[in-house]
Amino acid sequence: MQKIVKIIPVILLLIFIAFQWHQPAPNTDEGQIYKTDFTRKYTMSAEVKTMFQTSCYDCHSNNTNYVWYDYIQPARNMVEKHIREGKEELNFNEWDTYSNRKQERLLNSIKKQIETKQMPLSSYTIMHNNAKLNDKQIKTLTDWLKEQQ
């Protein structure tokens, strides 16, 4: 019985290590500059652009900046699921392919979700603290978004 108790952790460790070989394709188009990108459509300060890219683009664009722990399974599958779902709702790289009506709706939605602190997701900002928006940043972004409407 003691032998089995000692073997179980070893087996679990081997399964965990084997599971690391499965890595979904990364969401990255490094260096790609999209003509349809959100930041090219609107005039914005470098500060506003940086806030969008830091707090939104990892899940809502074609280029995610992964950190080392994003590659550890099973977290990697959860990260890729969030990215896939985020891009289904909004992809900043494809902004100019959306109709004017959809862009207007998305601007309103972005503003509302930032104001109510629904975005960026708290589950994301726990591990990506630099994406968390403080009250001043929220005001800066929502004021800018109001100007665009």
The neighbour count for residue 66, using CB atoms within 10 Å, is 14
Q: Which domain holds residue 95?
A: 2-147
For residue 13, the one-letter residue type is L
Strands (E) in the chain, as ranges, are: none
Total domains present in the chain: 1
CB 54 within 8 A of CB 131: yes
Of 16, 25, 36, 39, nearest to 79 by C-alpha is 25
64-99 pLDDT, tens digit each: 888 888 888 888 888 888 899 999 999 999 999 999
Instruction: Give pTM, 2 decimals.
Output: 0.81
Q: Does position 50 have pLDDT exceeding 90, yes or no? A: yes
